Chains A and B, each alone.
Chain A
Amino acid sequence: DADVTQTPRNRITKTGKRIMLECSQTKGHDRMYWYRQDPGLGLRLIYYSFDVKDINKGEISDGYSVSRQAQAKFSLSLESAIPNQTALYFCATSSLETQYFGPGTRLLVL
């Protein structure tokens, strides 16, 4: 599972700051996803990309943006962080149905 990596693993930031979370994969998968996990709410899809030129909004995209810099890299940005964006963020990749998750980034917005 070192095939999917996320940086940073932990981050504390302040309200209003811009922050970027990065995801890289060596699996050669075309499809990449960003999820957030909150206690009791499961995994909710923020954005997904099926190739470098394809970006799609998920169910909770407001307040977030993404960039697919290459097949292997997919970044998630919070343009102006707010406290209710405090969560655990996971990147995932897939070639077909099965999704493989990165180790997660724990974000705290003060």
Chain B
Amino acid sequence: GENVEQHPSTLSVQEGDSAVIKCTYSDSASNYFPWYKQELGKRPQLIIDIRSNVGEKKDQRIAVTLNKTAKHFSLHITETQPEDSAVYFCAVDSGGSNYKLTFGKGTLLTVNP
């Protein structure tokens, strides 16, 4: 099955700094790469996603880059704010029309004021 590695497991930054979280995956058939944010006590919510025909996607302060050849993708958060503090999960689909996701183990991001 798909293997998704996510690093780092914890990340602490100062407010205003950038944060980068990386994921690698094993299945070259994967085509869909979402990122979810989970605030304390809340459900995971999609914040950005990218498909394999695109190398980069941005939405205000967040961006995702994808290197399909190397099988890795990254989440970039610029100008971090305390409300960005949360657990972030990457995920990878199983390819085709299955749409089954395999999640990384998560990164706890703490933004210090």
Closest 10 CB pairs of A and B: A42-B105, A101-B43, A43-B103, A97-B32, A42-B103, A42-B106, A101-B44, A97-B99, A103-B43, A98-B46
Q: Is the CB of B93 within 8 A of A1?
A: no
Query: Closest residue of chain A to B104, judged by CB?
Result: A42
A-B pairs under 8 A by CB, number? 48
Interface range, B side: 20 to 34
Query: Closest residue of chain A to B90, judged by CB?
Result: A42
Q: B1 near A: Cβ within 8 Å? A: yes
Of A31, A59, A96, A104, which one neighbours B43 at CB under 8 angstroms?
A104
Residues of B within 8 A of A101 (CB): 43-45
Q: Is the CB of A97 within 8 A of B43?
A: no
Interface range, A side: 20 to 34
Q: A94 near B: Cβ within 8 Å? A: yes
Q: B49 near A: Cβ within 8 Å? A: yes
14 residue pairs of the A-B complex, CB under 8 angstroms, read A35-B103, A40-B9, A40-B106, A41-B105, A42-B103, A43-B44, A43-B89, A45-B101, A59-B102, A97-B99, A98-B49, A101-B44, A102-B43, A104-B43
Alpha-carbon separation in the docked complex, A60 to B106 (Å)? 18
Central interface residue in A43, A44, A48, A94, by most chain B CB within 10 Å = A43
Of A42, A59, A103, which one neighbours B1 at CB under 8 angstroms?
A59
Query: Closest residue of chain A to B4, judged by CB?
Result: A42
- Chain B 14-54 near chain A by CB (<8 Å), digits 1 or 0: 00000000000000000010100000001111100100000
